[in-house]
Amino acid sequence: MSTEAELNPTSYIQHHLTHMTMSIGEGSFWVLHVDTLVMSLILGVISLGFIWMVVRKATSGVPGKTQAFVELLIEFIDDQVKNTFHGNRHAFVAPAALTIFVWVLLLNSMDFLPVDIMAWIYEHLFGLHNWRGVPTADVNTTFALALSIWMLTIYFSIKVKGFGGWIKELFCAPFGKNPILWPFNLLLNLIEYISKPLSHSLRLFGNMYAGEIIFMLLGMWAATGIAGTIFGAVLGVGWAIFHILIVVLHAFIFMILAVVYLSMAHESH
């Protein structure tokens, strides 16, 4: 894509995996991935705005097709949450699950857009040289979501059980109250608290990132000639169809895990 550099597989992939960055301070931390932010904000505003527009005109009578679609979505989420979370789910957990599912699903779905065509559009229509369209293939997004959920689980743990109850649970669960077992309990709980956001975020990130890479690798078949282009296109279609499953599945898994973590925070052991 980049005409100035020599086009080889490494530069091709590197080009597609380079974020558009904006430095807002000293050091490598104070950097913003503009592409990730803009894409996720646009998708979030569009999807939630759409749902909001429908909901604003929602009638309790016979619903229109759009409202029926949104209701279907909400009832699907509500059912999932009801099975996992036993409490007043309407206060926070169910709407949060809806947000996560819709948002992550749309962020993942950006993966369906063909990488090279989108890169061309971004570059020639918007003048954006390095622009990655899939925000969930950016580890910052998945970590942001997972860490937000993680902090919410700690918040709800303390809110439901009290600070003392939470500390007590760190030492007394899951093996027992015996003081000999305290270090083991604490160790296990610490591992759990560390592994939860890691697995939660890296699972989504890994799948989306790998999906993107595989699309790029398949796209590189085009470099081998016409036969290779056709072969790559066929494989690309196959991978895209399989990717529909992955995209929806991982949006769903991410939401369900968030609900499970939040409901675990609400229950005392």
Positions touching other proteins (CB under 8 A) are 24-25, 28-33, 36-37, 40-41, 44, 48, 51-52, 54-56, 58-61, 63, 67, 70-71, 74-75, 78, 90-92, 94-96, 98-100, 103, 135, 138-141, 143-145, 147-148
- On whether the CB atoms of residues 218 and 235 are closer than 8 A, the answer is yes
* Rounded (5°) CA angle 255-209-102: 30
**Do you know the residue count of the chain?**
269
For 98-118, the DSSP string reads HHHHHHHHHHHHGGGS-HHHH
Is residue 203 annotated as part of the catalytic site, yes or no?
A: yes
Judged by CB, which is closer to other proteins: 3, or 59?
59
2: left (phi over 0), alpha (psi -120 to 50) or beta: beta
Judged by CB, which is closer to other proteins: 97, or 172?
97
- On whether the CB atoms of residues 199 and 139 are closer than 8 A, the answer is no
- Least distance between other proteins and beta carbon 148 (Å): 5
Q: What are phi and psi of 33, to 5 degrees?
A: -90, 100
The one catalytic residue in 47, 140, 189, 203 is 203
- Least distance between other proteins and beta carbon 33 (Å): 4
Give yes or no for a cis peptide into 183 (omega within 30° of 0): no
The one catalytic residue in 108, 185, 207, 263 is 207
HSE (CB half, 13 Å, CA atoms) of 266?
A: 14
- Least distance between other proteins and beta carbon 106 (Å): 11
Residue 33 is given by DSSP the state E
- Least distance between other proteins and beta carbon 122 (Å): 18
Please give the span between the terminal C-alpha atoms of the chain, in angstroms, as a whole number.
Answer: 56
Is residue 28 annotated as part of the catalytic site, yes or no?
A: no
Burial 46-73 (b: 16+ CB within 10 A, else e): ebbeebeebeeeeeeeebeeeeeebeeb
Judged by CB, which is closer to other proteins: 221, or 261?
261
The one catalytic residue in 23, 178, 199, 268 is 199
What residues have CB less than 8 Å from 134, skipping those under 6 apart?
39, 107, 108, 110, 111, 208, 212
Judged by CB, which is closer to other proteins: 70, or 257?
70
Judged by CB, which is closer to other proteins: 13, or 139?
139
Tokens 């599912």 found at: 101
Q: What are phi and psi of 23, to 5 degrees?
A: -85, 130
Residue type, 48: L
Judged by CB, which is closer to other proteins: 57, or 177?
57
Is residue 199 annotated as part of the catalytic site, yes or no?
A: yes
- Least distance between other proteins and beta carbon 204 (Å): 13
- Least distance between other proteins and beta carbon 8 (Å): 21
**Residues known to be catalytic:** 199, 203, 207
